[in-house]
Amino acid sequence: MALQVAVEERGEGAFVVAPRGSVDSTTYTVLDERIGRVTASGPRMVILDMRDVDYISSAGVGVIFKARKAVADAGGTLYMAHLRPNVAKVFRIISALPDEQVFESIEELDRYLDRIQRNP
């Protein structure tokens, strides 16, 4: 199953990465390569739009951990939004992502970001 990855820049240093398909042991390198290009630019914020990801294996989770670490090392934050239930369950089991980095939707993420910026 092929994996397509759309990358969109939303303002200064903010990127939305939207994988589409199944992130498994045969396709994870595609996502790794695309996210790697984004994180190499030292982004302030990377949002993973997961609405079109129907499956993620441990190799795919590894890519996201790696991305989170790279973004954090550059002083930014990685967020995830629109997780499907089965994908959300994987992350819940792994329980390695702080809840503040996972959102129902990008709109919810926007509201969260607004809030923390008004009340620093």
Partner 1 sequence: MRATRGIAFRLAVAILVPAGLIFAAAFGYNYFVSRRILLANIEENARNVTAVTVGRIDSVLRAVEKVPQNIAYALEDAAYSRNAVASLLRTVVENNPEIYGATIAFEPGERYGDGFAPYFYKSDDRILSSDLADDSYRYFGWDWYRVPKELGRAVWSEPYDDRGGGNVIMSTYSVPFHAREGDARRFAGIVTADVYLSWLQEIVASIRIARTGYGFLVSRNGTFVTHPRRGQIMNETIFSVAAASGDPRLRAIADEMVRGGAGFAPSRSIVTGRECWIAYAPVPSAGWSLGVIFPRDELLADVSRLNRTVASIGAAGIAFLFAVVVLIARTITKPLRTLSRATRNIGRGDLDFELPAIGPRDEVGRLAGSFAYMRDSLRRHIAELTAATAARERMESELAIAHRIQMGIVPKTFPAFPARREFDLHAVLEPAREVGGDLYDFFLVGDDRLWLTIGDVSGKGVPAALFMALVKTLVKAAARGGASPAAALEAVNGEMAADNDECMFVSVWCGALETATGELRWSSAGHNPPVLARAGGEVSFLAEGGGPVLGVVPGARYAAASFRLRRGDTLCLYTDGVTEAFNGRGEQFSEERLARAVAARRVGSAREVVRGILEDVRSFAGRAPQSDDITVVALRYEGAGGDA
Residues that bind partner 1 (CB under 8 A): 24-25, 57-59, 61-63, 65-66, 69, 86, 92-97
Nearer to partner 1, 20 or 65 (CB): 65
Minimum distance from CB of 118 to partner 1 (Å)? 29
Please provide the distance, in angstroms rounded to a whole number, between the alpha carbons at the two ends of the chain: 44
Does residue 33 contact residue 23 with C-beta atoms inside 8 Å? no
- Least separation in angstroms between residue 11's CB and partner 1 is 27
The answer to whether 70 and 97 are in contact (CB under 8 A) is no
Neighbours of 91 (CB within 10 A): 18
Query: Residue 12 or residue 99: which is nearer to partner 1 going by CB?
Result: 99
Q: CB atoms < 10 A from the CB of 36, how many?
A: 14
Q: Which is nearer to partner 1, 57 or 77 (CB)?
A: 57
